[in-house]
Amino acid sequence: MDSKALLKTVVKAADDKKAEDIVVLNMQGISLITDYFLICHGTSEKQVQAIAREVKSAAEKAGLDVKKIEGFEEAKWVLIDMGDVIAHVFHRDERNYYNLERLWGDAPIENIQKELAP
């Protein structure tokens, strides 16, 4: 599966669990570790865990081996490393604090609206 197809899969999975403010940063040419960052948040620890679980499950159903998951138990910032795509699922308060969009401000934002259309 190429990185763009994986990205579509995980964006849909996050949206299915009502992730809020989904943003995708194109990291190609900026970072050597991944092609895309998916950043989103939930409003409770349970929702953050549900989003992370769904993203992991969708990636595995697509035949991908999820390399690493960090922060699942605390559910404040869950990082899901799928190689070409790294998902950052935050609790709303943590997302505002870390503000990855500003930290990686030189990365272009991908238009994902067609993946989110009903």
Evaluate whether residue 9 is within a structural domain.
Answer: yes
Tell me whether residue 110 is in a domain: no
Both tokens assigned to 95: 């997302």
Residue pair 41/19 in contact (Cβ under 8 Å)? The answer is yes
Q: How many domains does the chain have?
A: 1
In a domain, 62, yes or no: yes
CB neighbour list of residue 64: distance below 8 Å, 6 or more residues apart: 1, 6, 82, 83
Q: Answer whether residue 104 shows pLDDT above 80.
A: yes
Residue 115 lies in a domain: no
What is the value of pTM for the model shown?
0.91
**pLDDT exceeds cutoff 90 at 101:** no
- The per-residue pLDDT for 118 is 59
- What confidence score (pLDDT) does residue 64 get? 86
pLDDT of residue 24: 94
Confidence class for position 31, pLDDT limits 50, 70, 90: confident
Domain residues for the domain of 34 are 3-104
Q: What is the pLDDT of residue 73?
A: 95
Q: Taking residues 91-101, report their average pLDDT.
A: 92
Note the pLDDT of residue 5.
86
Say whether pLDDT at 88 is over 90.
yes
> Checking DSSP bridges between strand 36-42 and strand 85-91, what pairing results, if any?
parallel
Percent of the chain with pLDDT over 90: 66
CATH label of the domain that carries residue 56 = 3.30.460.10
